[in-house]
Amino acid sequence: MDFAAVKKSSALHPKPAGLALQYGTAGFRTEAERLDHVMFRMGLLAVLRSRATASTIGVMVTASHNPEEDNGVKLIDPHGEMLHPLWEEYATQLANAEEQELQKVMTEICQKEAVDLHKDALVFIGRDTRPSSKKLSQSVIDGISVLGGQYHDYGLVTTPQLHYMVCCQNTQGQYGKATLEGYYQKLSKAFVELIKQANSSSSGDSQRHLKVDCANGIGALKLMEMERYFPKEVLIHLYNDGTKEKLNHLCGADYVKVHQKPPTGLDMKPNERCCSLDGDADRIVYYYKDTADHFHLIDGDKIATLISIFLKELLVKVEQTLKIAVIQTAYANGSSTRYLEEIMKVPVHCVKTGVKHLHHKAQEFDVGVYFEANGHGTVLFSKAAETKIRQLAKEEKDDERREAAKMLENTIDLINQTVGDAISDMLVIEAILALKGLTMQQWDAIYTDLPNRLLKVQVADRHLIDTTDAERHVVAPPGLQEKIDALVKKYKSSRAFVRPSGTEDIVRIYAEADKQENADALAHEVSLAVYHLAGGVGTPPQP
């Protein structure tokens, strides 16, 4: 490794003194002007990872739903999945190393991972629409180039599109063509087929209107490019397309979910279908207004339920013993869990918060559906399940079974299995609503959410709180779980849990109950218990 060249190049991307960052689920994220050195170093790391795995690695420059002034970066592993946890640690070490430690940290990574420095390295780069993203992706390129790596810069893409490209490249095109054109063609072909199957079975108005809030981000550009591939029955109207306002400002999936209200810049009429993407288009939520002008949010739990119902019905039709499961976190609404398990007879598994835990668990089943309540999620099909379904779609003699197998096959092709993808998820939802002839109200009425409340309490040290059972049970500090159990007993259909934040000294509290005032009261009482038993700071929580 030419350390003289690395040193010289690194000096052009100096690290601000005393800055320490942590690579988490979202990669690195902070104010854009503090990230130049991180980008350069992630270029270096991507080359080492590429050589260590003998595969193409992705580097995505984005801060997703954060404000426009922020930016961030995440690395994408060979199958389009998130970076391996061990390499997340390397990323943190490399980003935080002072100039004079850089060589030592890089040498240690190479030794631990037996990196062959003579191997070829290829890195795919993508970026979102933030003003800072172009310059920062150039810093990534500087890092790749100084280590002699090759790169392909896709320019402006959604995060899931880059995940898709990396997977296509490393499966030698088995997953698809590693181009935007290839992505649009694969998804739209499957979508057109499903809509055709819907039109043949339904009567009446086949025109389908959907209003999309694009968070003033990359989703707008990519949906505009994709529009010409859509069937004429589907009319997508784009709002917050980035031409006038700031990215994520008073709009986007995160804003709608947190504030439980429509985004600015989108005018809703009663019963219109609307959805919001987030800033890098890897999350989606749906919503509508009823005739009494009440806002109804359809979040990740209800999206997972709709997709699960659809897939379960098709699997029953093709009479295969394929196992389907839904993976949730403790934040999933209790009503959704009950509906899936008791009515649909679909097993539900609960895992720790974080996409990587959901994704990992979903890989254990023939068909694994996972969504976080915030609208980030996808469906994974095992290789065996996919092979079986494709075979049935081709060879099955019975018309109804073959038709069901074809629907499953098109669904496999429409879903981006590498990661949650707002555009792909949106098309899956649109196809299912068309095939089942469901209105927004009917979808919303599948089950009624239990009223819930999220709170947070500041503590002196979040590490004092330890949980088990997918974060649903506190094991430390002593006495806290017993107190929560006693409080929960006071309210009907209630549950509550607390978990430490992964990034700051706060404890997050979730409570649900039969009525909103009970959920609010329970959340408040639990927050007081946390404050008193887990080292709360500042004034005690107020109701």
Domain 300-420 part of CATH 1.10.3210: no
- Residue 280 annotated in ligand binding: yes
Distance CA 515, CA 130 (A): 42
> Is pLDDT above 80 for 201?
no
- Residue 279 annotated in ligand binding: no
Domain at 3-156: CATH code:
3.40.120.10
- Residue 43 annotated in ligand binding: no
3-state helix, strand, coil in the chain (%, to 5): 45, 20, 35
Paired tokens of 351: 């895992």
CA dihedral 10, 49, 140, 100 (to 10 degrees): -10
- Residue 372 annotated in ligand binding: yes
Nearest alpha carbon to residue 305 among 263, 272, 338: 338
Paired tokens of 162: 């880059």
Q: Where in the chain is the domain with CATH 3.30.310.50?
A: 452-534
Between 93-102, 115-124, 204-213, the lowest mean confidence (pLDDT) is in 204-213
- Residue 353 annotated in ligand binding: no
- Residue 50 annotated in ligand binding: no
pLDDT given at position 319: 80
- Residue 16 annotated in ligand binding: no
Distance CA 128, CA 59 (A): 12
Distance CA 299, CA 296 (A): 10
In Å, how far are 1, 210, 247 from 297, measured between CA atoms? 53, 15, 21
Q: Contact at 8 Å (CB) between 311 and 430?
A: no
Q: Is the entire prediction scored with pTM above 0.85?
A: yes
Reported as type and span, the H/E element at residue 381 is: strand 377-381
Q: Where in the chain is the domain with CATH 3.40.120.10?
A: 3-156
Question: Please, which pLDDT band fits residue 503 given cuts at 50, 70 and 90?
Answer: confident
- Residue 503 annotated in ligand binding: yes
Distance CA 248, CA 228 (A): 26
Q: Contact at 8 Å (CB) between 77 and 46?
A: no
**Tens-digit pLDDT profile for residues 57-77:** 999 999 999 999 999 999 999
Question: Please, which pLDDT band fits residue 198 given cuts at 50, 70 and 90?
Answer: confident
Secondary structure (3-state) at 154? strand
Distance CA 538, CA 307 (A): 44
45 pairs with which residues across the strands? none
Question: Please, which pLDDT band fits residue 199 given cuts at 50, 70 and 90?
Answer: confident
Distance CA 296, CA 286 (A): 9
Question: Please, which pLDDT band fits residue 1 given cuts at 50, 70 and 90?
Answer: confident
> What share of the chain has pLDDT > 70, as a percent?
99
pLDDT given at position 131: 97
DSSP 8-state secondary structure symbol assigned to residue 74: E
Q: What is the mean pLDDT of the chain?
A: 95
pLDDT given at position 118: 93
459 pairs with which residues across the strands? 536
- Residue 70 annotated in ligand binding: no
In Å, how far are 285, 314, 403 from 399, measured between CA atoms? 35, 13, 6
DSSP secondary structure, 324-351, as one string? EEEEEETTS-HHHHHIIIIIS---EEEE
Secondary structure (3-state) at 297? strand
CA dihedral 471, 333, 497, 345 (to 10 degrees): -60
Paired tokens of 367: 């068909």
Q: Contact at 8 Å (CB) between 238 and 223?
A: yes
Nearest alpha carbon to residue 393 among 384, 406, 404, 411: 406
- Give domain 183-298's CATH architecture: 3-Layer(aba) Sandwich (3.40)
Give all strands (DSSP E) within 77-191, no chain letters: 122-127, 150-156
Distance CA 434, CA 443 (A): 12
**Tens-digit pLDDT profile for residues 20-67:** 999 988 899 999 999 999 999 999 999 999 999 999 999 999 999 999
pLDDT given at position 204: 47
- Residue 501 annotated in ligand binding: yes
Catalytic machinery residues: 64
Domain 452-534 part of CATH 2.60.40.10: no
> Which residues are within 8 A (CB) of 273 and not within 5 positions of it... i.e. 6 or more apart?
208, 209, 210, 211, 286, 288, 433, 440
**Tens-digit pLDDT profile for residues 92-116:** 999 999 999 999 999 999 999 999 9
136 pairs with which residues across the strands? none
Q: Which amino acid is at 275?
A: C
